[in-house]
Amino acid sequence: MRTKIVVGNWKMNNSVAESLELATAIAEKVGKGIHCCEVGIAPTFLALHEVGKLIEWSDILLTAQNCHYENDGAFTGEVSASMLAAVGCRYVILGHSERRQFFGDTSAIVNRKVKKALEQGLRVILCVGETLQERESGVTGSVITGQVVEGLDGVADISSLVIAYEPVWAIGTGKTATSAQAEEVHASIRATVAGLYGQTAADHLRIQYGGSVKGSNAAELFAMPNIDGGLIGGASLNADDFMAIVKAAC
């Protein structure tokens, strides 16, 4: 039985003070009493250290939104996986569609980041997803398979990895893939992973759904056999809304 995982991706939102306020509200609700699913929050880089200290007592897993593929060097504005590990991060989100779309993160770059993060002891949430044009063109399957295969190239062990399926057309738009649409892609991802790593590894892999997940649709999505939780954007910026999704995973 796979343990569900729900992670709030705060993106470029909240000052450090606002991040601490939100983290406090979520930590008070999660505490050390939620064992039916893993819960993570991903504040901005600026807030990671302070939020990490604040949630140390809780079961919440500190998560970063990105990292570089080198340990150090002349990479102005970047943060390395080793720095994230040192500040207490447990997970890092890699390959998010916004990184691919706006910052040039190709699957080859994402792959380098995945390998570096795993090397530094971080768990990885590898994001994959198709655009509206790709879905309407009927190439969703090939696009997602390609992102999975390329993102995992040379990765020997996926036991510390989660895949998040985020249809680009559903992120922040209010549109959500139906539970059947999401399940179809999740099942395809699991089949791809089975071809790469064997059925046992695929059966243990957790695959999240992301894309306008709310308390009102989370339970239906999470009830699908291959959907193991959610990577939550806008709804994670409100403690009550986020916790409604967490409860739907239990």
The string of pLDDT tens digits covering residues 183-208 is 999 999 999 999 999 999 999 999 99
Catalytic annotation present for 96: yes
Q: Using 50, 70 and 90 to split pLDDT, how confident is the model at 19?
A: very high
Give the three-class secondary structure for 150. helix
Catalytic annotation present for 68: no
| CA of residue 129 relative to chain centroid, distance | 12
| CA of residue 111 relative to chain centroid, distance | 15
pLDDT exceeds cutoff 80 at 87: yes
**Lowest mean pLDDT, pick from 34-38, 60-64, 208-212:** 34-38
Q: What percent of the chain has pLDDT over 90?
A: 89
What is the DSSP pairing of strand 161-165 with strand 206-209?
parallel
* Confidence (pLDDT) at 200: 98
Backbone angles phi, psi at 207, to 5 degrees: -125, 115
pLDDT exceeds cutoff 80 at 31: yes
The string of pLDDT tens digits covering residues 37-59 is 999 999 999 999 999 999 999 99
State the CB neighbour count (10 A cutoff) for residue 102: 9
The string of pLDDT tens digits covering residues 92-121 is 999 999 999 999 999 999 999 999 999 999
Domains of the chain and any CATH numbers: 4-248 (3.20.20.70)
Could you write out the three-class secondary structure of 53-64? HHCCCCCEEEEE
* Confidence (pLDDT) at 206: 98
The string of pLDDT tens digits covering residues 161-182 is 999 999 988 777 777 789 999 9
What token pair was written down for 250? 């239990």
pTM: 0.96
Q: Among residues 68, 166, 183, 186, which one is catalytic?
A: 166
For residues 216-238, average pLDDT: 97
Q: Among residues 96, 98, 134, 183, which one is catalytic?
A: 96
State the Cα torsion 186-188-191-195 to the nearest 10°: -120
State the Cα torsion 199-203-204-209 to the nearest 10°: 130
* DSSP codes, 99-133: HHHHH---HHHHHHHHHHHHHTT-EEEEEE---HH
| CA of residue 133 relative to chain centroid, distance | 23
Give the three-class secondary structure for 42. strand
Alpha carbons 56 and 235: distance in angstroms, whole number: 23
pLDDT exceeds cutoff 90 at 35: no
Alpha carbons 228 and 69: distance in angstroms, whole number: 27
Helix (DSSP H) and strand (DSSP E) numbers for the chain: 11, 8
For residues 23-30, average pLDDT: 96
The string of pLDDT tens digits covering residues 111-155 is 999 999 999 999 999 999 998 889 889 999 999 999 999 999 999
Alpha carbons 217 and 244: distance in angstroms, whole number: 10
pLDDT exceeds cutoff 90 at 210: yes
Per-residue CA distances from 102 to 134, 212, 244 (Å)? 18, 19, 31
* Confidence (pLDDT) at 171: 74
pLDDT exceeds cutoff 90 at 241: yes
* Confidence (pLDDT) at 104: 95
